[in-house]
Structure 1
Amino acid sequence: YQHRAITEDLYWIGGNDRRLALFENVYPIPRGVSYNAYLLMDEKTVLLDTVDKSVSNVFLENLEHLLGERQLDYVIVNHMEPDHCAALGQVLHRYPEAVVVCTQKALDMIGQFFGAFPALRSQTVKEGDTLTTGRHTLSFVMAPMVHWPEVMVTYDAADKILFSADAFGTFGALGGNLFADEIPFEGQWLEDARRYYTNIVGKYGSQVQALLKKAASLEIQMLCP
């Protein structure tokens, strides 16, 4: 199984695509790209984002393996772009009791992307709303146009982690490396990170600055983009 522990109860369950030549059919990605999703195993179980369809099979295997006999209680949708949520429909069919937590705009998009779910359980959130899962309290920070209008980011007050959606993202597939001290970032990743920022979110400069000001008010010890 291709998952990795980040903390004692948080796991990375994303995937990597080294076959894709162009990201969004526009931007060359000779080193591939990663799709990052996270599973929190608290008193309630929480999936933060899903992955692109190209790696959905291994993602679903990892999710099922980590959950074991437990149910999935919540799915937090930070961003509706397919590299973040293409597997959402499959997740909800497998775990129909899960509650989708997202902005109202994201909830509207779910119907446009996946059609109507007969009994979709949802909880829409606004700036500053919180979700307590046991030891963890998650709060939601709106990030419109970074870089779609429905975007939010999620902050975990217990471990001081920001799940930052496209913010702080970069091109490049992972090779087992998740943490900053496992790679020479400036030598190997900075060029791709700059190219990602410039092409994906850089044109929304005022919105990026607004989100950075919000982030500055949080005590952040780890970024999970």
Structure 2
Amino acid sequence: MGITNLSAGTNVHEIADGVYRINTPVSLVPGGFSFNQYLVVDDQPLLFHTGPRRMFPLVREAVESVIPVSQLRFIALSHFEADECGSINEWLAVAPHSAPLCSQVAAMVSVNDFADRPAHAMADGAELALGKRSVKWLDAPHLPHGWETGFLMDTRTNTMFCGDLFTQGGIGAAALTNEDILENSEAFRKPMDYFSHSTNTRQLIDHLAAESPGTLACMHGSAWYGDGAGLLRALGERLVSNASLR
């Protein structure tokens, strides 16, 4: 594993057993930024996030460095946004036995209309067997944004695919770190504040923290390992504190 496209800098690293981070650095903001997708290799392989539509060739090349793309069975998204699912139909075309995977709300309001095949819609707490492992869906409406938002938990490796939570500036050079990412992510969030600040933020955070993730697979920046429940609750405290100041 390593760099799969020299000109773009797209790279692939295994961050947990059978879980691969696909990372592409971009220059959208000062200091750099990155888009990550996560490939889960099992009897029924799953890709979490597609990347923007124009990034499809880069992500496809990266997936192909691990498995044939035709083997993919699920194309998952946290919420309906270009970097989450912009190339979903391209993936459905090259993986003819695959289906979108998302929340029930996402399927109802967007995915079943947008995607070329019906979604595998998951309720909160529902599990899906991929082979040796299962993934568990966790509804998290409006955390950080989007009514349809939810996250996936790989119950075998204790990895939570946590979407836009802990979005970090920079190119995410470290595939996996146990250094602080909260301060980086909070510094990135504050100027544009893309969180919804819903009234039940603390309950939603506690719902995620109850899964006690050991790895947080962030969609922008480095993935992180350690006390995931503690880090999630620390983020929750920041969000609740900020909301009280409004």
Alignment TM-score, normalising by the size of structure 2: 0.75
**2: distance between equivalents of 1:91 and 1:70?**
9
Instruction: Decide whether the 8 Å contact of 1:15 with 1:51 is kept in 2.
Output: no
Equivalence for 1:49: 49
Equivalence for 1:25: none
1:62 aligned counterpart, secondary structure: helix
Instruction: Decide whether the 8 Å contact of 1:14 with 1:50 is kept in 2.
Output: no
Equivalence for 1:24: none
Residues 1:82 and 1:69: Cα distance change in structure 2 (over 3 Å) = closer
Shift of 1:52: 2.1
Q: How many residues align?
A: 206
Shift of 1:49: 1.2
**2: distance between equivalents of 1:106 and 1:202?**
18
| Alignment map for 1:1-225 (pairs within 5 Å) | 1=4, 2-18=11-27, 20=28, 29-68=29-68, 71-107=71-107, 108-110=109-111, 114=114, 117=116, 120-146=117-143, 147-175=145-173, 177-181=174-178, 185=180, 190=183, 192-198=184-190, 199-225=192-218
Shift of 1:203: 4.2
Alignment TM-score, normalising by the size of structure 1: 0.82
Shift of 1:70: 5.5
Instruction: Decide whether the 8 Å contact of 1:35 with 1:84 is kept in 2.
Output: no
5+ unaligned residues in a row in structure 2: which ranges? 5-10, 219-246
Shift of 1:141: 0.7
What is the CA deviation profile of residues 41-89 of structure 1, one whole-angstrom value per residue up to 9, with x for unaligned ones?
1121111111123533211111223223761111122121112221212
Q: Which moved more, 1:102-111 or 1:57-66?
A: 102-111
Residues 1:160 and 1:44: Cα distance change in structure 2 (over 3 Å) = same
5+ unaligned residues in a row in structure 1: which ranges? 21-28
**1: distance between equivalents of 2:200 and 2:18?**
32
2:168 aligned counterpart, secondary structure: coil
For the aligned residue pairs, the C-alpha RMSD in angstroms reads 2.2
